[in-house]
Amino acid sequence: MKRRDFLATSSLAALSLPLSGAASGIADSPPARLLPVPLRKGDTVALVSPSAAMDDPLDLQIAQEVLEALGFRVKPGAHLAARRGHLAGTDAERAGDLNAAFADPEVRAVICVRGGSGAARLLPLLDYDAIRRNPKALLGYSDITALHCALQAQTGLVSFHGPNGSGSWNRFNADQFRQLFLERRLMLYRNVADAGDELVQRRNRTVTLTGGKARGALVGGNLTVLTALAGSPYLPDFEGRILFLEDVSEAPYRIDRMFSTLRLMGVLDRIAGLVFGECTDCDPGNGYGSLTLSQILDDYVRPLGIPAYTGAMIGHIRQQFILPVGGLVELDADAGTLRMLEPVFRA
């Protein structure tokens, strides 16, 4: 058979097959929910850098001081201060630090020092069997979305979308951490109500897209990073999930393209509810014809008919929620809230 004929026959055969989970990048049988061990003051936490390198060594020192101020002993990754181009060391070095942190019996949680880019490069290098045997909380956001997705898809481990070690640890973020990690509360995530000197509140407002309530496990993070995992085995299951999204410095046409990708993948048809946080610096540029973020959400989210709202304190903002990725929550789109329904740490 000629190569051209073989390719044509193979293509027809492929078209006759149903779209499998592997082909669509969505897991067919997701792993059971796996809870991390709890944290207590005095425990040891690992500080790792899976993504971009730090520009200023002082930021590494501040990240360590933050965790010490929260009451923990800090074990820096062996390559925390390494650099290769824009990355915090080679892929093997960064993945090695993550694998070592999960395998270390002394370490009770893993804190990512920053995002940037590069975490997705590590996904094939992670020891998921060791992570399953040693379930620990992982905290970070932005590019760390790649790790949250992979942990969900490969192990079912609940991880935490929230401030990186070098980020802002203002009173709000520190209180969120203490309530969730140390007091182990079932959190109610409601935006801070503070009108300041305005007659009515302008900042931190939520906007209902479609009213109602929905329950499901949380999945999501940074929209750009999540959609970049399309077609890979590291994209988690979306069936019946509550999808939360955020982004930064993306032109509206790119946001539109990413939502189109989610729709074409079938993701939007599978979720039970949606929360869009902040899209920082995502305003239309100068010129004619740019869609706005509101129009994009109207096009893709409102027609779904599922409970959805925007404006949650999630994303590249100073005060941000710490969300349990994989944790069971209730979304109330009219009230603009998320409420945890079950503990997210082992008893």
Residues with a catalytic annotation lie at 142, 246, 316
Residue whose tokens read 């067919």: 28
H/E run at residue 209: strand 207-210
Cα dihedral value 200, 206, 211, 213, nearest 10: -120
Residue 161: name the closest of 342, 312, 37 by CA.
Answer: 312
What distance in Å separates the CA atoms of residue 219 and residue 145, rounded to the nearest whole number?
10
What distance in Å separates the CA atoms of residue 159 and residue 161, rounded to the nearest whole number?
7
Q: DSSP states of 15-36 as a string?
A: HTS---HHHHTS-SSPPPPBPP
Report the helix count and the strand count for the chain, using DSSP H and E: 11, 14
For residue 37, the 8-state DSSP code is P
